[in-house]
Structure 1
């Protein structure tokens, strides 16, 4: 039971007050799980150490000049509340990209909706379709994986149903592990965070058929779809739109993490439900950000150049890991590499991350991404090409 505490009022009288009661989901979240890593990083930064940050997936390549200019020129003298639906021009620009990139024809009026970044959209999507009173309120998702699927499920009254992903399956979420009697929503995320694993066309077709047969809402996190070398990753919308939403982002494709802009697309009925929900949570993209997003979705040249740079970084690390005998998941998708902890660290990913940190190399321990992540570290290809070379030089001494 919570203990009472003494507080002073404005008249300096002492009275008792109970501790603040939080949402149980917030209380269960706990504190930062990798405290030792964070503390040591702060110490090193305080001593002026040079750090190469491959931990947080926040690319350093500049946002295109045309995109920045579009935002600046759209800032009005008088700012008005934005609409949830966003501008027709933005939705048309996104639909144009979806047609060019995936061969999918969208109705920009009913099948596309802007969002303030994919994280916000992914979290809030659960609230439109789940409630604690529902008999079927399970949310299935792969682990290790992006933690927002679970958090959105918990806060909305859903039941998290994690499915552990395995390397021998290519980190593809096996549909035979999904219980259709419990599952209302299935999340897939390919190219995958944190492993970088891609999905085959055969797999996406299988998932689409399974969800259609069992009336499961299929949500596809496609934030890394336009970061690849070689074969372009497919979208779930190439296989189905029925009870399906794809979540697409400009953060990595266009270097717009700080702009907070993304799109939801798919089933018109699901998009309509999101339009009803989003005014209640105040989620509407500012018009000047929409202008920048419209320019980004309309321009493919900058995304191609960013893919070239990420490909150069990826090739450097793949060559190093191969020559050093360090295990990793070969992938040409996303800008992550999923790296095995060497045997001498007995699969302790936090210990390995701490050792790398002593060389100025920041990586994310796999255990931070949930069950199945232990024994790996995630390398986000964030620093520039030359800094990647310098970091590899340091890593080779570990």
Structure 2
């Protein structure tokens, strides 16, 4: 006789997440794909440009005959390469031994970081982050026993998270993310100085997600890093996914305050997420070279211009930016601000975009266009989009 089991209990955080919020879009995409329709996917931030050959070769050559567990601290050569890049790009000096630690992609790093600094027993266990924004800030907070404190970002404020929006009595950590996902908004050095001063004065940890810091068009005015302002009680999260087209390699770096890095070094052996040794070799090659980044940015700039010219012609409002490879587009009036309805209409023309609501409540009324298809496919998609605006 089959034994009867009690209902399986899950972590409450998993249960509260509920079903996938954009099920209709996902189902319609699969229906169109099954019919053989050509789809231009501007939904996921996964660019199609090839990874530089030198990076690929470094990965292949790094595969050892005998595999060994990687250390959480990462290879000395990798930490030195990242330190060299931070010096060239941001004028920041980092100690490769005490101020840098690698991760298997920024998503993993962002999710696990709160585990080192939060506990449900803490009086101040709140984590502030912007909405619309990257969903992992919230999820990492909740799984670590923290209190999620989303802050509404608005176009009027340039989608900047303002210090005065932070409840210091409840907050332990603050996440900022510029250039911003999903809007592409940029932050100035003056803004970073203001936020750093506020966090220091109120004893808050400041974590800066700089995943898109190397994707920009204005070569005379590259996005700054929080580490140009301070390392004190501060960490920068830097990724090769977008910079070097290495999304599948899963390689990122965390850097800043040596006390915070020491805490991560204590945490991460328990999690077991150090990058494979051959991925670290590829990352070393990537951080050591800047020329391939310039070429990638030229391509992203060309794609951005195609779409912004088109949006200008048809009267679609969007956030003007030269950074990240996202365009944040306001839903036109005839759709009544319904970003899911607009996304479904575009999908009928083969164009896949991300509704703003998928990035939190602050994203309603917008769509995100990720400039990931090739330049040729961007041109084809724009021609198809004309059918929506006609």
- In the superposition, the TM-score normalised over structure 1's length comes to 0.96
- Alpha-carbon distance, 1:14 to partner: 3.1
Partner residue in 1 for 2:207: 219
The count of corresponding residues between Structure 1 and Structure 2 is 386
- Alpha-carbon distance, 1:131 to partner: 0.1
Aligned mate of 2:250, from 239, 260, 264? 260
Aligned CA-pair RMSD: 0.5
Aligned mate of 1:69, from 50, 54, 57? 57
Between Structure 1 and Structure 2, whose CA radius of gyration is higher? 1
2:314, 2:193 → 1: CA distance?
A: 38
2:98, 2:147 → 1: CA distance?
A: 29
2:189, 2:387 → 1: CA distance?
A: 40
1:262, 1:112 → 2: CA distance?
A: 11
Structure 2 residue runs of 5 or longer lacking an equivalent are none
Partner residue in 1 for 2:287: 297
Q: Write out the 4+ residue segments of structure 1 that deviate beyond 3 Å after TM superposition.
A: none
2:274, 2:32 → 1: CA distance?
A: 40
Per-residue displacement from partner, 1:287-308 (whole Å, max 9, x unpaired)?
Answer: 1000000000000000000000
Is 1:154 equivalent to 2:111 in the alignment?
no
Aligned mate of 1:119, from 97, 107, 110? 107
- Alpha-carbon distance, 1:396 to partner: 1.5
- Alpha-carbon distance, 1:371 to partner: 1.2
2:247, 2:55 → 1: CA distance?
A: 13
Aligned pairs (5 A) from 1:188-337: 188-230=176-218, 231-337=221-327
- Alpha-carbon distance, 1:372 to partner: 1.3
Q: Name the SS of the counterpart of 1:379 in structure 2.
A: strand
Q: Name the SS of the counterpart of 2:3 in structure 1.
A: strand
- Alpha-carbon distance, 1:188 to partner: 0.1
Q: Name the SS of the counterpart of 1:15 in structure 2.
A: coil
Per-residue displacement from partner, 1:6-63 (whole Å, max 9, x unpaired)?
Answer: xxxxxxx133211110000010011110000000000000011000000000000000
Partner residue in 2 for 1:55: 43
Per-residue displacement from partner, 1:163-193 (whole Å, max 9, x unpaired)?
Answer: 0000000000011010111110000000000
Per-residue displacement from partner, 1:250-297 (whole Å, max 9, x unpaired)?
Answer: 000100000000000000000000000000011111110000000000
2:331, 2:197 → 1: CA distance?
A: 37
- Alpha-carbon distance, 1:200 to partner: 1.2
Aligned mate of 2:86, from 68, 73, 98? 98
Partner residue in 2 for 1:371: 361
Aligned mate of 1:136, from 113, 119, 124? 124
Is 1:31 equivalent to 2:19 in the alignment?
yes
Aligned mate of 1:352, from 335, 339, 342? 342
- In the superposition, the TM-score normalised over structure 2's length comes to 0.98
Structure 1 residue runs of 5 or longer lacking an equivalent are 1-12
Q: Name the SS of the counterpart of 2:197 in structure 1.
A: helix
Aligned pairs (5 A) from 1:373-388: 373-388=363-378
1:105, 1:16 → 2: CA distance?
A: 61
